[in-house]
């Protein structure tokens, strides 16, 4: 009989080494390698691989595919591109408490309400807790099923049955354990094995699989990066837990657009989509106050108005303070350096604070011109024109460069009644340099 092979597994990260070492090569921890018997391959796996047919011409291969089905949430169908596609694997990430489980339980409830079965597999909550949350959300369909387990085999069995449900939610992939890998749940080896089993199972049936992924303190999905490569769609649920809004962004999508987003509002009965977020983030804005500017930001394909605020005050510190909330701090520092160099403003003796209204985090390059307008407004202590709106990228030479979505932004600005409109040069109109912008806005040159 063949001798059992042993390996050494790190108890901290799950990395495997063929021999004992003092330090783990995976995470750098000391004295964490433990000797274990090497896992055996799953029965029948090698035979199945050897028995598969060889390569076939794509031109002659059947293109039959089950049509997508609506999720019951039209805004989510728009974000996904085609709704819930059978055989697709979706990964949803987000910070703790942001609303991932609430959103997915609502989604499962909508699918069940349409007469299709949905199964919510939880490794974090008991059936009693799930039932209480479903009752709080008003979900009572008999087609909404739940399973509380930390075994990946339980979810694989659900996906592998002949009459598979339309939707299977696994919350979360870091709490599941697979018998095909060593290590504790959540370790890179376990996350890889669990995701591999689940994705392989869903590809063979009519179900749609949604995996919930925890995030690290840097905001990235915990576990190996291969997890995001294995799935078809990667979604992130973002927002500030102190505010009512949430944003669902698409970072990867094999079946639809990757530049869409969905705005949701946290209410007493769960998350509710915001149909038209055009002015949702403006709130009760005071147009007479200095240091405030409205930017028509483009996130995805939808332009919406966002308030950018700035405060420039005299500093009594040896090193003036720079603080940014919702705006990249490097972008703020870059804009301040351009203003000092190109407009000759003495900002080096001022504390500068910048934020976006509602706690929204923006990455749109068109935010530059609105940020500059807010800083200039606070520096001169003069408000911009009451209905003015801004967008445009500012380069290091002080020129204002075009950004994507000019036609969509112009159309939205006119629909919302904004005037004047400050934007990069296009079709013979627009502002070309910061000096021209300063003169047009405040009469300074």
Which one is predicted more confidently, 210 or 304?
210
Is 0.85 surpassed by the pTM of this model?
Answer: no
Integer Cα distance of 373 and 383 in angstroms: 9
Q: Are strands 208-213 and 89-94 parallel, antiparallel or unpaired?
A: parallel
Least confident among 16-20, 36-40, 113-117: 36-40
How far are the Cα atoms of 49, 63, 64, 204, 250 from residue 53, in angstroms, in the given order? Answer: 9, 18, 19, 16, 35
116-130, 158-172, 290-304, 418-432 — which one is most confidently predicted on average?
116-130
Integer Cα distance of 229 and 309 in angstroms: 38
Is 99 annotated in a binding site? The answer is yes
* pLDDT, mean over the chain: 86
Integer Cα distance of 260 and 222 in angstroms: 23
Residue range 92-107, pLDDT digits in tens: 998 888 899 999 999 9
The pLDDT of residue 175 is 92
How far are the Cα atoms of 41, 177, 308, 326, 374 from residue 359, in angstroms, in the given order? Answer: 49, 37, 10, 6, 16
Is 226 annotated in a binding site? The answer is no
Is 252 annotated in a binding site? The answer is no
The pLDDT of residue 48 is 43
Is 223 annotated in a binding site? The answer is no
Residue range 216-273, pLDDT digits in tens: 877 778 777 888 999 999 999 987 777 778 889 888 999 888 777 888 888 888 899 8
Residue range 108-153, pLDDT digits in tens: 999 999 999 999 999 999 999 999 999 999 998 999 999 999 999 9
Is 430 annotated in a binding site? The answer is no
Integer Cα distance of 419 and 442 in angstroms: 16
- DSSP conformation letters of 68-136: PB--S-HHHHHHHSSSB-TT-EEEEEE-TTSSHHHHHHHHHHHHHHTT--EEEEESSS-HHHHHHHHHH
pLDDT, mean of residues 30-35: 85
Is 435 annotated in a binding site? The answer is no
Is 60 annotated in a binding site? The answer is no
Is 95 annotated in a binding site? The answer is yes
């Amino acid at each position: 009989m063949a001798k059992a092979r042993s390996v050494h597994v790190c108890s901290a990260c799950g990395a495997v080494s063929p021999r004992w070492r003092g330090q783990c090569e995976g995470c750098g921890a000391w004295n964490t390698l433990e000797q274990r018997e090497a896992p055996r391959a799953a029965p029948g796996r090698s035979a199945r691989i050897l028995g598969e047919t060889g390569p076939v011409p794509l031109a002659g291969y059947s293109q039959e595919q089950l049509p997508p089905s609506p999720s019951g949430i039209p805004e989510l169908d728009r974000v996904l591109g085609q709704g819930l596609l059978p055989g697709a694997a979706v990964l949803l990430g987000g910070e703790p408490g942001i609303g991932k489980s609430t959103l997915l339980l609502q989604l499962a409830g909508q699918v069940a309400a349409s007469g299709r079965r949905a199964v919510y597999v939880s490794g974090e909550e008991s059936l009693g807790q799930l039932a209480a949350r479903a009752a709080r959300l008003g979900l009572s369909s008999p087609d909404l099923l739940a399973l509380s387990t930390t075994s990946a085999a339980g979810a694989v069995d659900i996906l592998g049955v002949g009459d598979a449900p339309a939707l299977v939610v696994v919350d979360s992939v870091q709490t599941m354990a697979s018998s095909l890998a060593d290590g504790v749940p959540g370790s890179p080896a376990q996350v890889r094995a669990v995701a591999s089993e689940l994705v392989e199972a869903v590809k063979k049936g009519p179900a749609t699989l949604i995996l919930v992924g925890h995030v690290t303190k840097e905001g990235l999905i915990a576990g190996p990066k291969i997890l995001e490569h294995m799935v078809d769609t990667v979604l992130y649920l973002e927002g500030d837990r102190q505010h009512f809004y949430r944003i669902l962004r698409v970072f990867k999508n094999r079946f639809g657009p990757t530049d869409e987003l969905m705005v949701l509002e946290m209410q007493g009965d769960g998350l509710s989509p915001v149909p038209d977020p055009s002015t949702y983030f403006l709130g009760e804005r005071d147009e007479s106050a200095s240091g405030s500017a409205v930017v028509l930001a483009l996130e995805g394909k939808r332009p919406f108005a966002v308030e950018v605020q700035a405060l420039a005050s005299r500093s009594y510190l040896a090193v003036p303070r720079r603080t940014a909330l919702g705006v990249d701090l490097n972008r703020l520092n870059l804009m301040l350096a351009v203003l000092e160099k190109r407009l000759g403003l003495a900002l080096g003796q001022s504390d500068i604070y910048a934020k976006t209204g509602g706690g929204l985090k923006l990455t749109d390059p068109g935010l530059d011109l609105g940020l500059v307008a807010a800083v200039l407004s606070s520096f001169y202590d003069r408000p911009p024109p009451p209905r003015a709106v801004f967008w445009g990228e500012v380069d290091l030479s002080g020129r204002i460069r075009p950004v994507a979505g000019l036609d969509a932004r112009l159309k939205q600005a006119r629909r919302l009644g904004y005037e004047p409109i400050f934007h990069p040069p296009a079709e013979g109109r627009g502002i070309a340099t910061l000096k021209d912008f300063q003169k047009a806005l405040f009469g300074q040159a």
